[in-house]
């Protein structure tokens, strides 16, 4: 079984909790680790753009589900891609 | 050509081949701790570890490993090294651990039931709920002896004795006063099954209405039966992961635990981002977030108590930022005759495989 991060931008409120909760994001930028949304592309997995969440770069995602835990509106899920 | 037949029931998988001998590989998901040792040892890359972090955290409903029945040759290596017997190869109806020719991972828990005093510490600390302690305490009334008497004529129903009694053994039968009956209580009752004759009621009573004598104090315990605690220590070895919490915690040395692997658990405090996935995945409660002992102290991000670690490697596999490294230096296994098997088992001591990122596995 192969699962992948899936987002539902229509549910997203753009709070950015997932962006700063994601440990991969945080490891890539001290700004994100400090709780601030990234302004530029640092290879982060998730980023809020125009008020909704976007997947930027999935290759470093290890499916830990921390972003899902942080999301207050179920806008992120992990789904079967096979 | 004989093909393997795969059967899936809920999250459990069985792969069967019926040729000259019948072989069946059974996977039980509820036993699996998601360590990935099977994936690491499989010579045919037939086993793939699932998204264990997301599964354990309840965000993905799937089996922790998947087995490709077209690649599996039912060799049994995975079931020999599985540290929790989630995988089992059955050859002609016999489990691989019962077949002499195959090596066996040595791991055990041996309780000395006679030493147990039913304190319940093991029950509390066991991370797998594998131990239950049930105890029957003796009746409190049989461990004390004395006399108590309330002079109801003197009693003014103030209720101080009731408020002070540590054993809830004395109480007023309350009455709502009316013009025809202005008593605030109709009676005062002592429950002799609960009273321990401590005398607090006597000392608090403002009217000297209570007399209490404890016979144990002047005469000793000669006329009281011995306090015997009966109980049961129930160990479910199927759930045990040999972490050693019970062995470390038990004040009576009831447990002796043998662990399957030796090694080292290394945490990169700089790299850790505190996502908690490892803490939730660890089957042995080795990891936790430490609290600073005083304000302003900078504690480690992730704390480990390595004496409970079984070096299964589950934490390393789920860490999204490679902050954990598990190095296995020793395997507790019976002698292996086959060279190929020796090599395969030895390979588990090498640096644990890093889970493939999507880029490495070609975007899959």
Does residue B309 belong to any structural domain of this protein?
A: no
CATH of residue A52: 3.30.70.20
Does residue B319 belong to any structural domain of this protein?
A: no
Does residue B172 belong to any structural domain of this protein?
A: yes
Which residue in A2, A21, A78 is closest to B59 by CB distance?
A78
pLDDT by residue for chain B (364 residues), tens only, comes to 678 899 988 899 999 998 889 999 999 999 999 999 999 999 999 999 999 999 999 999 999 999 999 999 999 999 999 999 999 999 999 999 899 889 999 999 999 999 999 999 999 999 999 999 999 999 888 888 899 999 999 999 999 999 999 999 999 999 888 888 888 899 999 999 999 999 999 999 999 999 999 988 777 777 777 888 999 999 999 999 999 999 999 999 999 999 999 999 999 999 999 999 999 999 999 999 998 889 888 889 999 999 999 999 999 999 999 999 999 999 999 999 899 999 999 989 876 655 544 444 444 3
* Domains held by chain B: number: 1
State how far residue B267 is from chain A, nearest Cα, in angstroms.
Answer: 15
Looking at this predicted complex, what is its ipTM? Answer: 0.90
Domain of B191 in residue numbering reads as 140-219
Nearest to A66 by CA among A46, A37, A43: A46
CB under 8 Å to B362, separation ≥6 — which residues? none
* Domains held by chain A: number: 1
CATH of residue B180: 3.30.70.20
Task: Give the whole-angstrom CA distance, residue A46 versus residue A16.
Answer: 9
**Test mutation, A45, A59, A63, A71, chain B, max B CBs within 10 A:** A63
Task: Give the whole-angstrom CA distance, residue B237 versus residue B255.
Answer: 12
- Phi, psi (5° rounding) for residue B328? -95, 125
Does residue B176 belong to any structural domain of this protein?
A: yes
Q: Could you tell me if A38 and A31 are in contact, meaning their C-beta atoms sit under 8 angstroms apart? A: yes
Q: Is B285 on the interface with A (CB under 8 A)?
A: no
**Test mutation, B60, B356, B364, chain A, max A CBs within 10 A:** B60
Domain of A43 in residue numbering reads as 3-80
């Amino acid at each position: 079984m192969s699962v992948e991060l899936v987002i539902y931008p229509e549910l997203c409120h753009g709070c950015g909790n997932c962006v700063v909760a994601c440990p991969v994001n945080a490891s890539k930028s001290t700004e994100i680790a400090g709780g601030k949304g990234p302004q530029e592309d640092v290879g982060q997995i998730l980023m809020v753009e125009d008020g909704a969440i976007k997947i930027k770069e999935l290759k470093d995602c290890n499916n830990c589900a921390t972003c899902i835990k942080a999301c207050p509106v179920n806008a992120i899920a992990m789904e079967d891609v096979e | 050509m004989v093909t393997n037949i795969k059967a899936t029931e809920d999250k459990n998988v069985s792969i069967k081949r019926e040729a000259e001998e019948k072989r069946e590989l059974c996977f039980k998901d509820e036993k699996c701790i998601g360590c990935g040792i099977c994936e690491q040892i499989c010579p045919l890359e037939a086993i793939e570890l699932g998204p264990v972090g997301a599964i354990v955290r309840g965000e993905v409903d799937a089996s922790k490993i998947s087995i490709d029945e077209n690649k599996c040759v039912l060799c049994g290596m995975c079931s020999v090294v599985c540290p929790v017997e989630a995988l089992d190869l059955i050859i002609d109806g016999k489990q691989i651990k019962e077949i002499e020719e195959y090596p066996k991972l040595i791991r055990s828990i041996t309780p000395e039931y006679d030493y147990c005093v039913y304190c319940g510490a093991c029950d509390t600390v066991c991370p797998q709920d594998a131990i239950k302690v049930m105890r029957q305490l003796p009746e409190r009334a049989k461990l004390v002896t004395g006399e108590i008497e309330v002079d109801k004529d003197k009693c003014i129903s103030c209720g101080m004795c009731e408020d002070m009694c540590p054993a809830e053994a004395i109480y007023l039968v309350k009455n709502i006063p009316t013009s025809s009956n202005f008593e605030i209580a109709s009676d005062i009752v002592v429950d002799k099954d609960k009273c321990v004759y401590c005398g607090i009621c006597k000392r608090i009573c403002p009217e000297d209405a209570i007399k209490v004598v404890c016979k144990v104090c002047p005469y000793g315990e000669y006329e009281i039966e011995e306090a015997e605690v009966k109980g049961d220590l129930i160990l479910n070895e199927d759930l045990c992961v040999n972490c050693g919490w019970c062995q470390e915690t038990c004040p009576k040395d009831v447990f002796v635990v043998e662990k399957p692997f030796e090694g080292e658990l290394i945490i990169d405090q700089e790299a850790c981002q505190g996502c908690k996935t490892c803490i939730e995945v660890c089957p042995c409660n080795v990891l936790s977030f430490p609290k600073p002992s005083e304000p302003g102290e900078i504690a480690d991000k992730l704390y480990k108590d390595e004496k409970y670690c079984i070096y299964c490697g589950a934490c390393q596999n789920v860490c999204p930022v490679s902050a954990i490294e598990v190095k296995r230096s020793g395997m507790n296994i019976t002698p292996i005759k086959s060279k190929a098997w020796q090599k395969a088992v030895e390979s588990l001591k090498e640096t644990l495989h890093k889970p493939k990122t999507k880029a490495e596995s070609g975007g899959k």
